[in-house]
Chain A
Amino acid sequence: MSRVLRFTQLDLRVQQATLKTTLAVGALLALLTWVTAPLPPLIVAVFTFAAAIVAVEPFRADERGRLDALYAVLPVRRAQVVGGRYLTMLGIQLLFAAIGVLLAFAAAAVKGVPMDASLAGLILSAGFALNALILAVETPVLFRVGYARARWVMFTPVLVIAALGALANLSGVNLTQFALSLRAAAWAPALLPVGGLAVLALSALASTRLYAGRDL
């Protein structure tokens, strides 16, 4: 197993230690969306958005356990730590997306409403792309200064969404129409995740440089 994957495994072990809390929050989230979501695919949206918040949890654990010092004295290079961390975040995204999809299908079945699979797919793709954008901005900062000094970065999801909204408003783009056009476009479900991955790859390069220069 490569050291990058080994690091991801270590990351997941760390997350496993706080699994009870994550599960409790997840269950609460599932219950709330189950009850309140008018359309089952919206459950996917909620879980996709939640993934962006949970994905930075490993950085909080780094600080709590002073794990950066542990990584530094293990035979694993900082670039491999960065690579492993991005894989962890990707894994969290996929896990939350999977849970969201499963819950959406379950909710549709239980409530007896049709499940709009194409809408769910679009939400999944667009949500992943948006999350990728959010994490691409957050992660290099977290690698550079650590979780405690980068608390402000937790506002990134809101800021990115607000910025995109403002940008759309200024450029006269109607977001509802844009979403509908995305739904109509066959390329969107495939291309949005690819774009998200590309942004994450660029972000990983930046993180590698920034983490390499950080004093731990």
Chain B
Amino acid sequence: MNTVTEPAVVEVRELRKDYGRFQLGPLDLDLPAGYVTGLVGENGAGKTTLLKAMLGLVRPDAGSVRQVGDGQARPGLDLGGVGVVFDHLVVIPEWTVSQAGAAVAPFCPSWDAGLFAELLTRFGVVSGARVGTLSRGEGSKLSLALALARRPRLLILDEPTSGLDPGARYDVIDVFAEFMAADDQHAILFSTHIASDLDRIADHLRVLVDGRLVESGPLPEVLERHAMVRGPSSALPASARAAVRGLRDVGGTFDGLIATQDTAQFGPEVLIEPASIDDIVVRLSHPAERSRA
């Protein structure tokens, strides 16, 4: 499922990776230029595998990843223009923070040492500190500084705010916003399970369930396509049960996710509310009915 109409910076087509017990795809994914695309899904949905396949860390069994630029699409990602933040640090613990920067810099033609130092100061990460002594949050900030100092056009982020306290998360989201504002060709793919981060910054949303994209589009449109219903079980007509995704029918009341176009199937006793990103992810991930008398 892919409803993007804006020009893409990255095109993923028919991507598939089979691990036996888990299969990613086949899926198509476009990352629109100038936008932040949120990738959400429960643990094990395949978010990290998808990012790794896009980056070439895992070899897909089928499909293609192409980077689009100057009107041309080239196979693979041009890693010179991509900044990546994993949910773990990828530098050795014995290095100091500044040594980590010095190790990465020679590979990156656009490396901006001034920006690296500025970001460390802004994030409160001491450049002389040993990487092994950093807290998880400081490690995330270091990863981010390393990625941004490469002056990338595309940022690929795997849980970049995990381990950060709410204040630090706000600061990091501000940095992403500044990155996007700097150039209308910049793009971010932001994989996370913290929906509130996406509420603040995402323009597009992709929902991954069991290795497949089940929802995709501009965030406001995705939210508009769904609604939450809740009410007394007696007000849930049998004919409408099939329309409710992730139906919970417990203790005489029910709730679940519906497509907005199905609201007419429910009577006045049923409360219909806007769905949140969390609602969509949870209910689409567990579409089967859960009932208890």
Contacts and interface: CB of A to CB of B under 8 A. Distances in A.
Interface of A: 1, 3, 6, 9-10, 13-14, 17-18, 61, 64-67, 69-70, 72-76, 213, 215-216
B290 interface: no
Nearest to A213: B59
23 contacts: A3-B107, A9-B106, A10-B103, A10-B107, A13-B102, A61-B92, A65-B90, A65-B92, A65-B93, A66-B88, A67-B90, A69-B90, A70-B104, A73-B55, A73-B82, A75-B80, A75-B107, A76-B107, A215-B52, A215-B57, A216-B52, A216-B57, A216-B58
B99 interface: yes
B56 A72 contact: yes
Contacts of B108: 74-75
Contacts of B95: 17
B18 to A, nearest CB: 12
A61 B58 CA distance: 21
A69 to B, nearest CB: 5
B220 to A, nearest CB: 32
Nearest to B130: A17
Nearest to A21: B94
Top 5 nearest A-B pairs (CB, nearest first) are A65-B92, A17-B94, A70-B90, A215-B58, A73-B84
Interface string B97-111: 001001110111000
Nearest to A65: B92
Interface in B102-145: 102-104, 106-108
Contacts of B164: none
Interface string B42-60: 0000000000100111110
A39 to B, nearest CB: 38
Interface string B253-266: 00000000000000
A65 B91 contact: yes
B93 to A, nearest CB: 7
Given A9-B106, A72-B57, 15 more contacts: A10-B103, A10-B107, A13-B102, A17-B95, A18-B94, A64-B92, A65-B92, A69-B90, A70-B91, A70-B104, A72-B55, A75-B78, A76-B107, A213-B59, A216-B57
A161 to B, nearest CB: 32
Nearest to A13: B103
Interface residues of B, number: 27
Interface in B36-75: 52, 55-59
Contacts, number: 66
Contacts of A1: 106
B89 interface: yes
A213 B106 CA distance: 26
A213 B103 CA distance: 26
A17 B92 contact: yes
B79 interface: yes
Question: Which residue, of B79, B103, B108, has the highest number of chain A Cβ atoms within 10 A?
Answer: B103
Contact of A66 (B90, B103, B104, B106): B90
B58 A74 contact: no
Nearest to B106: A6
Nearest to A5: B106
B54 to A, nearest CB: 11
Contacts of B107: 3, 6, 10, 74-76
Contact of B99 (A6, A13, A69, A213): A13
B80 to A, nearest CB: 4
B79 A74 contact: yes
A215 B93 contact: no
B157 to A, nearest CB: 12
Nearest to A214: B59
Contacts of A75: 78-80, 107-108
A216 to B, nearest CB: 4
Contacts of B103: 10, 13-14
A174 B69 CA distance: 67
Counting chain A CB atoms within 10 Å of each CB, which of B55, B86, B90 scores highest? B90
A7 to B, nearest CB: 8
Contacts of B91: 65, 67, 70
Given A10-B106, A72-B56, A74-B107, A66 B79 contact: no
A23 B55 CA distance: 37
Q: Which of A66, A73, A216 has the most CB of B within 10 A?
A: A73
Nearest to A19: B94
B79 A215 contact: no
